[in-house]
Each structure stands twice: as C-alpha cells, then as structure tokens.
Amino acid sequence: MAAKDQNTLTDIFERALGDILARVCLDAPPASASTEPDLSGAGAPKVAIAYSGGLDSSVLLHLAADASRRLGITLRALHVHHGLSANANQWSEHCRRECSALGIDFDMRRVAVDGGAGGVEEGAREARYAALGAMCRQHGVRLLLTAHHQDDQAETVLLQLLRGSGVAGLSGMDRMNQAPGLLGDSHLWMARPLLHVDRATLESWAGEHGLAWVEDESNTDASYARNALRHHVAPALRQHFPGFEKRLVRAAEHAQAAHTLMQEVAAADLQACSDAIGLDLMKLSALGEARANNLLRHWMGRHGMRMPSTAWLDQMRLQLLQAKEDARVCITHRDGLIRRFRGHAQIEPRTASAEQATRLDFRWNGEAALPCPAFGGKLMLAEAAQGIDPAWLRGQSLSLRSRSGGERLKLAPNRPNRSLKQHFQALGIPYWQRDKLPLLYAGERLIYAAGIGMDAHCPRSDAGIVFDWLPDSESFT
C-alpha cells in the first residue's frame, strides 16, 4: 500500500477516534464549568480494545496503540477465550505476546458458551460481550473499541434483511452506542472506528506493516449464517453488483435516519401517554397500530428489554387494550413482566433475587437507614416533628416480615382500623407489588406497612421517628 493510503487509514481512524472520545467525554459528568472535552491525560476516558488476535482487531490494536501514545490515553486490550477451538490457548498466548511487545496492558477471560435455543454462534456472542463488559468494569474502562468494518456492516444488513427485520435491524451497527443488556453496564460506550473502512484496506495495511495475526478455522464453517453469506453469497453479489457493500452501508445509514425519527416520535408519544401510574392504555388506543407499536417498542427498550417480534408485539398490544377492566393481565417476556392495572400498563423488570424472605429480626440503634437485601430495599428512619418515640423504639425487638394475610392498620386516631387490602386498594397499589412490601413489627404489634404508613397506636413524641421504605428498584412505568 502506498504511503498516501497508509496515512489515509491512520487519518480515518484518528478522526473517528477523536469524534468518539469527544462524545464520551461530553457524556460524562462535567468536572468544571467548561463544556470543552479534555481528550488527553486525566481528562480522557480509559479505552479498551476487543482483541481476538484476528486480522481486523490486530489492525485496530496497532492503530489505537499509536494514537494512545500521541493522545496520552490509557489503553488496554481485552481477550475472550471461548474454549471452542483446540487452538484457543495458542491464540490467547499470541495476543499476550503482541500486547507485551507494544507495551499495552492485557487481560483475558475464559467463558463457557451456552449453545441453547440461540445456537453456539449466539451463545458465544452473548458470553463474549458479557466478559468484555465485566473486564471493562473491573478496570474502570468507559470506552470499548471493536474492529467491525464496512464488510461486517454489509453482512449485518443482509442478515437482518433475510430475517425480515424492521427499520432498527436494517440500520445495522451504529458507529457508537451503549448496550447495557449486552455488556451489563449502562455507563460503558462501545464504538466501531473502522466501520467505514473495507476489509481489503485492512488486509493491505496489515501486510505493509508486517502484522502477525491468527486465523480462526471456524470462520470458514458455512453452517454459521454469517460465514455462509461471506463465502457463498457475497462473492456472487460482488461479481454482479460490484461495490454492493458500500451501497448496503448507505442503505443502513438511511434506515438509521428513519429509526432516529421513529425514536423521536416514540419519545414524544411516551411522554404524552404516561402518568404516575404507568402507560395510559386509553391514550395508547387512540394511536394508530404502527404508531402504538412504535411506542411500545420504545417503552420496552427504555426498560432494557430485548425487542420482540412484530407478531409478539401485536399480541401484547391486543391483550393490553382488549382485556376487561378487572382482568389481571400478565404478559411474560424474557426480561420482565408486562402487566395491566386500572387502565395502565406497567413493566416489572426481571430480577435475579432469591425468593423473598419472610422475616428479619433486628434492634434499632439510631441508624438512618437499614439495608434489607432479602426484602429488596432499605428501611429509612428519619426525625420528624411528630413520630414514634425514639426511646421506646430502641427498647423494642423489631422485625420485618412478609404479609401473611388478615393484617390491619389504623393510620390516625380519627380514622377506621382497616385491613391492608383495603388500604392498598384505596392507594391504588397494584396487586403484584403488595406482597413485596414488608411489614415492620415491634414484638407482635404491627407498627408500619411499607407503601401505606405507620400505625396510630404507637407511642408518640414531638421529636419522633418516621419510617419510609425505599425499594432497590421502583421503576414500573
């Protein structure tokens, strides 16, 4: 490759990296009143390279190594050992040696690939990104660079087209995005600075610079959909439609623009259709089918839920809109539950917590907050002009308990002693949330019900203590 071409690739990369770093820095909480991003030294984010040892990531590694020295940024290479090849150990050692020669910190994780319903290809992808996200969190990395290039983008768009994907899928890969569902971190950015560079340019640059890389034998296995496109479909397209990759990338950019517009419309619709309870289904029903589905996808995405098929989404919309007013609609999604309550839809995120505890005994010694992970929240205790006598409270054997049924609470001297069910109904607390709200007992006396309030029979004082329950996650709307 001529020197001009070499400089062109370096320039393309450094311009892309500069734009990416500026966006990441501007996204961070400002360290001063200045709005200008500091892209060097302490002001620059820690950057990591997803380094497999293949040609693409090897070129990325060397380009980033040169740029990091000029910009003074901290660079680290991250490698994932899938254990799917007999050569995996050799690849890991190759990556370690290359990074040592370049003076770049190296880290590696072994993963176990689950080839379940999605197959080995999807299982390896999910395990790889989860491991990359975990390593980024461990090292305080805020920007992960991957070596995806123009040919990868064309393959992605073709695959999505063959799967019948909508506008979001046909948009292909963004130059940079955040993917907390994939990486497990809502603060981590993933960027692809080589997305507008074709593979032939990378191959030429690697040859001219004497780079060494590994070859993954699975890349020739046509049983994988992407390999089938790369080795059988793409050559035929290239013969009859030269330069088809660039045109597919351009089509993806048009789809990205359309998707951005759809997201803006969805965000406005979500604001108009939401209130303190959740998503107002009467307002949702006033929208056309396409616009309602667009809103529902955006709403689910806001909660980190993976996008369902159009058929699944249609069924969900019909169940939410056509159910009887008192029907207890509960729709199961792999990332959570969608429920209907009092004319509203709410999302209950899926958690990995164990079955809720039934009792937690303790003594109060003046703490302002008592973390209760077994109940999924914190019991907050604050001083107030009127509240429970703190001296009395210190002398009690306290316990947090789950509901068992039949409990009653009197909120004020002039108000009736009512069952918790009646209180929950009056306050509009959804039925599925009620059993998750703990009860506070002093001995065998119920003195506080989370979500409802304190019992009026407790000893009071002018400088007293009041309770509040703070769930670990309380976003349902």
Reduced to 3 states (helix: H, G, I; strand: E, B; else coil), residue 270 is: helix
Residues 6 or more apart whose Cβ sits within 8 Å of residue 394: 363, 364, 365, 366
Helices (H) and strands (E) in the chain, counts: 17, 22
Secondary structure letter of residue 257 according to DSSP = H
- At 310, the amino acid letter reads T
How far is CA 167 from each of CA 121, 182, 244, rounded to the nearest angstrom? 24, 20, 19
Enumerate residues 6+ apart whose C-beta is below 8 A from 317: 284, 289, 292, 293, 296
Tell me which residue has tokens 């619709």: 269
Cα–Cα–Cα angle for 142, 146, 152, nearest 5°? 145
CA–CA distance, 391 with 394 (Å, rounded to integer): 5
Instruction: Please name the residue that has the structure tokens 């070859």.
Output: 215
71 is in an annotated binding site: no
Q: Measured between alpha carbons, how far is 73 from 22 in angstroms, rounded to an integer? A: 13
DSSP H helices, 241-368, are: 244-273, 281-285, 289-302, 310-322
State yes or no: 304 annotated in a binding site: no
d(Cα 269, Cα 271) in Å, to the nearest integer? 5
Using a 10 angstrom Cβ sphere, with 0-12 exposed, 13-18 middle and 19 or more buried, the burial of residue 322 is exposed
Residues 388/457, Cβ–Cβ less than 8 Å: no
Q: Any known ligand binding at 57?
A: yes
At how many degrees (to 10) do helices 55-71 and 3-27 cross? 70
Q: Tell me whether residue 58 is annotated as binding.
A: no
The residue to which tokens 């506080």 are assigned: 448
Strands 445-449 and 453-454: antiparallel
Main-chain phi, psi angles of 107, to 5 degrees: -140, 150
Are residues 43 and 24 in contact, defined by beta-carbon separation less than 8 angstroms? no
DSSP string of 103-138, one letter each residue: T-EEEEEE-----STTHHHHHHHHHHHHHHHHHHHH
Find the angle CA(90)-CA(95)-CA(99) to the nearest 5 degrees: 150
Is residue 55 marked as binding? yes
Residue 105's alpha-carbon distances to 14, 75, 79, 426, in angstroms, are 21, 7, 11, 59
* 439 appears as a binding residue in the annotation: no
**Residue ranges at the known binding site:** 52-57
Residue ranges of the binding site for ATP: 52-57
